Amino acid sequence: MQKFLRRTWAEINLDHLVHNISVLRERAAGKELMAIVKADAYGHGDHIIARELNRLGVTFFGVSNLEEATCLRNAGVKGEILILGITPAEYAATLAEQSITQAVFSTEYGVALSRAATAAGVRVKSHLKIDTGMGRIGFVAQPDADPFDEILAVTRLPGLEITGIFSHFSVADLIDPDADRYTDQQQQQFQQLVDRLGQAGVKLPYIHLQNSAGIIRRDIASCNLVRIGISMYGLSPADGLADALPVKPLMTLKTAVAMIKEIPAGRYISYGRTFCSDRLMRVATVPVGYADGYPRALSSKAVMLIHGKPAPVLGCVCMDQLVLDVTDIPEVTVGDEVTVFGRSGEATLSAEQLAAQCGTIGYEIVCSISRRVPRVYLRNGEAVETVDYLLSFHPE
Ligand SMILES: *Cc1c(COP(=O)(O)O)cnc(C)c1O
């Protein structure tokens, strides 16, 4: 099971997932959790995460597309799966067969899905997607746009079974009065629409609006489901919310030292000759690079942890390798474990810290960890399962 495993790998702590779900359940105060597992569960491995969530009693999942939904069904994941983005209408029968719920976000799309479903003799479970201010997809509900009549017509289309309604916050993570007013307005637009549809006799079993930031910053009594992504993986939606929930990061990215050498002053390191030593140094080459998802924008900026101590990245991050300064960590030898981010002894380097150093967000750091990085799942500190995307791919 451990074969090929000493290059670069991601450890995923399932005990932290158990912990985070209990924290989020408590915060959700009776609302059901929809676990957002799009993008391979934010890089954590969707089928393993979803199966573990099933074991914890989570039975609602959110994904971005039909392939991700199918991957979960193929893995035997039970419960509801909502596709948050578009599925071409021609796949209406596939949606129905696999009992997958589709977001319906416009009249044009609703009519197309209804036609395809009717032609295939099926009904597709659908959640109405409302755009209250994100500006992406959805029936537009803004102070200057009322989608009520349009939506009412869509709820009467054959071939669609409307089982819910949702909208999405765009600035719920910002601690700022203007952002709060915008979020208030989004919430009001959504609430009014839900109330009016209810009065018109439209049944909406699932009503949901909150993402991670939404559940941290708002209590919304009228919703009965919350969509949890980043907090479930133990990261925070924004800098200002880092300590808002006592969640723990699931992912630690590790690599191992390939080569160590001493270099005199005047030696160049890596592409572009952007780093030149100015003294006698000890440097370690590690087999991790931007093709593993480690941002090239961290060249000469970040550190990694070895024996709990920081080792600065020297020069350019290459596709598959980079070089660290280990002058101040004399005990390092070839084969030693290196923490790219996550915990190393008493020291921690978070994905959010790396993100801040290269102008992105923690979400992008974990989502970008590529398929050539095996995922090792830990329970009680022990590896219980390994997923290697390359070794498990068998072309027909
Ligand atoms: C990705 C996504 C979420 C999850 O957001 P987090 O900030 O990760 O909690 C929720 N809802 C929708 C519509 C999304 O696309």
Evaluate if pTM is beyond 0.85.
Answer: yes
Rg of the chain taking only CA atoms, in angstroms = 24
pLDDT tens digits, one per residue of 357-369: 999 999 999 999 9
pLDDT at 396: 74
Which residue, 63, 64, 68, 69, is CA-closest to 99? 69
Q: How far apart are the first and last CA of the chain?
A: 24
User: Residue 243 phi/psi, 5° resolution?
Assistant: -105, 15
Q: Please identify which residue in the block is written with the tokens 């079993």.
A: 205
Q: Is the CB of 227 under 6 A from ligand 1?
A: yes
CA of 312 to the centre of ligand 1 (A): 33
pLDDT at 345: 82
Q: Which atom of ligand 1 is nearest to the CA of 64?
A: 15
Range list of β-strands (E), 88-219: 100-104, 124-131, 139-140, 160-167, 206-208
Write down the catalytic residue from 38, 125, 129, 254: 38
Find out whether 114 and 158 touch, Cβ atoms under 8 Å: yes
State the chain's mean pLDDT as an integer: 96
Find out whether 210 and 220 touch, Cβ atoms under 8 Å: yes
- 291: tokens are 């093709």
Strand partners, 207: 165
pLDDT at 5: 65
Least confident window among 145-149, 240-244, 374-378: 240-244
Q: Is 375 helix (H, G, I), strand (E, B) or coil?
A: strand
Q: Which helix (H) or strand (E) holds 363?
A: helix 362-367
pLDDT tens digits, one per residue of 165-193: 999 999 999 999 999 999 999 999 999 99
CA 178 from chain center: how many Å?
A: 27
105-112 mean pLDDT: 98
Q: Is the CB of 83 under 6 A from ligand 1?
A: no
pLDDT tens digits, one per residue of 248-304: 999 999 999 999 999 999 999 999 999 999 999 999 999 999 999 999 999 999 999
pLDDT at 392: 87
pLDDT at 2 exceeding the cut of 90: no
CA of 228 to the centre of ligand 1 (A): 7
Find out whether 297 and 315 touch, Cβ atoms under 8 Å: no
Strand partners, 87: none
The DSSP code for 331 is T
pLDDT at 359: 97
CA distance 321 to 312: 14
pLDDT at 374 exceeding the cut of 50: yes
201-230 mean pLDDT: 97
pLDDT tens digits, one per residue of 28-62: 999 999 999 999 999 999 999 999 999 999 999 99
Helix boundaries (H) for 29-135: 38-43, 46-55, 66-74, 92-97, 107-120
pLDDT at 1: 47
pLDDT at 393: 81
CA distance 139 to 60: 23
* Residues contacting residue 352 through CB under 8 Å, at least 6 positions apart: 235, 236, 239, 242, 361, 362, 365
CA of 166 to the centre of ligand 1 (A): 12
CA of 269 to the centre of ligand 1 (A): 40
pLDDT at 6: 73
Find out whether 273 and 316 touch, Cβ atoms under 8 Å: no
pLDDT tens digits, one per residue of 306-336: 999 999 999 999 999 999 999 999 999 999 9
* Residues contacting residue 37 through CB under 8 Å, at least 6 positions apart: 46, 49, 50, 53, 61, 62, 63, 68, 72
347-352 mean pLDDT: 96
Q: Which atom of ligand 1 is nearest to the CA of 42?
A: 8
Dihedral of alpha carbons 307, 312, 313, 314, sign: negative
pLDDT at 97: 98
What angle in degrees, to the nearest 10, is found between the helix axes of 107-120 and 148-155?
Answer: 0
Q: How many residues does the chain have?
A: 396
pLDDT at 3 exceeding the cut of 90: no
Q: Which atom of ligand 1 is nearest to the CA of 212?
A: 9
